Chain A
């Protein structure tokens, strides 16, 4: 039986590491492109102000990059120590994308970063600009490989489980790369990074305008940031729609949880805002919400691009729905147990040298393999992710995303008509939207990862079976160690960033 305490601490440690890592990554993704755009304007115009502006934002990019560097490698350590079963099982699938990511990151960082930061006046303007763009593209491609790996966990495709090596082995690299979950996840995730970069630029620029310091640089930066933010907000919205559509097909339980939908139906509404009823459980007659404001039929359209589509709720997914061809979890658990039993017989037959029995057992395993992970569950309700966390995180993310779109629009509009300096409230709102951007990004990850619980690999491996036989105390110790180190890094980031912003563009000749 799984050790819940060990599993929960391992889970908490991974969540802590991932959430801290994600504080640094989005700014790298977004700011790198904004800096590249600013430098392009400098190269085109030859303006000294644009050169100084580029160098200033590049210095802030450097701070974020340096402090965030290698925070993601910790997750790799955790795979080997706390999640050894999982790491072994997925080794063949994750090997290729993570190796490409590692090689790409190393070469990009050691070459083009050097040109970007040390190459001013040493290489031609064109070469320097080329390097800046390559850093931006490279950082984003790096994210691609990580998200391909993550997307595979949410929708395992292009693989076959080998019972002799105990590994999922890759059958098609392109199926893994173009996995619809990976593609939508990549697009939505990098888009959120672009919006974060834009919020950072408009927020700090607004602060300068409020303080009446570096006004010319602030105005120009704000226009670039707001334009970039407005365009990427639209992209974020469209990629979010695509993401929801894919989730509806591949992870219906997640969709039901993030919308608090228990009783599935046609023309399902989206809850624009609402409060979940804490007494509501699968199978009881309580109302889903204490109060809510809903958009009729919008969830059907979001999930299936059809206002009349049936959207299954948690009740349908747990107890099954014959009308819509949905198996109950009880049926899946039975199939999963048959798959585990068949695997056991296969191994025993192989050991005894009985190839006929081994072949029969393997065929039975293949017939039930799609429900393999369900065989480890004890209770049908184990398949339900934490509904409240998923629901509120999703709605915080969507609400803030909508606000950012409006903010960029207003900033750009008032900049264009030359009245932005008078809009103190809007400038303050832009400044305070920087932390909101981080909250939205973290909420997005909570939706993606909490919403897919209890699975480490969707339908194949529950989290409880993915961990190692290590002591809970060891995981607790390293949890607190990471909490201290990462908090220290976060404090360093904020302090150094604040100091650099206060100094302004004059102090950035050499980072």
Chain B
């Protein structure tokens, strides 16, 4: 019961906080939203694939690739 009451207070704090937010707060949340889209959707997906995950199927192959780079002195 205590946890439910705490959760309710917490959620109402968020909803009322957003409802009564002044222009500065709105502007900051907008910046956070735009940034999240740019970073996680555009940059991460389009420009930053994980090299080892994309090019190799399992950890054994990834380890093999890295150790071969180290042995051969090449990347």
Which residues of A line the B interface, CB within 8 A?
A: 1-3, 59, 62-63, 66-67, 69-70, 73-74, 77-78, 80-82, 84-85, 87-89, 111, 114-115, 117-119, 122-123, 163-167, 340, 343-344, 347, 375-376, 465, 467-470, 474, 477-478, 481, 485, 489, 492, 496, 500, 507-511
Contacts and interface: CB of A to CB of B under 8 A. Distances in A.
26 contacts: A62-B24, A62-B28, A66-B28, A67-B28, A69-B32, A70-B36, A74-B43, A85-B69, A88-B63, A114-B10, A115-B13, A118-B14, A118-B16, A122-B12, A340-B70, A343-B67, A344-B71, A468-B51, A468-B52, A469-B51, A474-B47, A485-B38, A507-B22, A510-B17, A510-B21, A510-B25
B41 interface: no
A83 B74 CA distance: 13
B24 A80 contact: no
Q: Name A's interface SS.
A: helix
Contact of B22 (A63, A465, A489, A510): A510
B16 A85 contact: no
Max chain A CB contacts within 10 Å: which of B24, B39, B66, B73? Answer: B24
B17 A167 contact: no
B24 A511 contact: yes
Interface in B13-71: 13-14, 16-17, 20-22, 24-25, 27-29, 31-32, 35-36, 38-39, 43-44, 47-53, 59, 62-64, 66-67, 69-71
B31 A111 contact: no
Contacts of B47: 81, 474, 477-478, 481
Contact of A70 (B10, B22, B35, B64): B35
Contact of A84 (B17, B35, B43, B52): B52
A465 B66 CA distance: 10
Contacts of A163: 67
Contacts of A343: 67, 70-71
A166 B70 contact: yes
Contact of A81 (B10, B22, B28, B50): B50
Contact of A166 (B14, B16, B67): B67
A465 B32 CA distance: 35
Contacts of B24: 59, 62-63, 496, 500, 507-508, 511
Contacts, number: 137
Contact of B14 (A85, A114, A465): A114
A1 B31 CA distance: 43
A293 to B, nearest CB: 45
B28 to A, nearest CB: 4
Given A70-B39, A122-B9, A166 B66 contact: yes
A465 to B, nearest CB: 7
Contacts of A69: 32, 35
Given A70-B35, A77-B48, 8 more contacts: A62-B25, A88-B63, A114-B17, A122-B16, A163-B67, A347-B67, A465-B73, A489-B35
A1 B73 contact: yes
Contacts of B27: 496
Contacts of B13: 114-115, 118-119, 122-123
Nearest to A341: B71
Interface of B: 9-10, 12-14, 16-17, 20-22, 24-25, 27-29, 31-32, 35-36, 38-39, 43-44, 47-53, 59, 62-64, 66-67, 69-71, 73-75
A268 B47 CA distance: 49
Given A77-B44, A481-B43, A468 B75 contact: yes
Most chain A CB inside 10 Å of its own CB: which residue of B10, B47, B51, B66: B51
B71 A340 contact: yes
A333 B25 CA distance: 57
A489 B28 CA distance: 11
Nearest to A478: B47
B59 to A, nearest CB: 8
Contacts of B73: 1, 340, 375-376, 465
Given A80-B48, A509-B22, A111 B28 contact: no
A209 B64 CA distance: 64
Given A84-B50, A117-B17, A481-B43, A66 B29 contact: yes
Contacts of B63: 88, 164-167
Contacts of A78: 48
B1 to A, nearest CB: 19
A267 to B, nearest CB: 42
A142 B71 CA distance: 36
Contacts of A481: 43, 47
A495 to B, nearest CB: 10
A123 B10 CA distance: 10
- Give the one of B13, B32, B38 with max A CB within 10 A: B13
Given A80-B50, A111-B10, A119-B13, A469 B75 contact: yes
Contacts of A468: 51-52, 75
A77 B17 contact: no
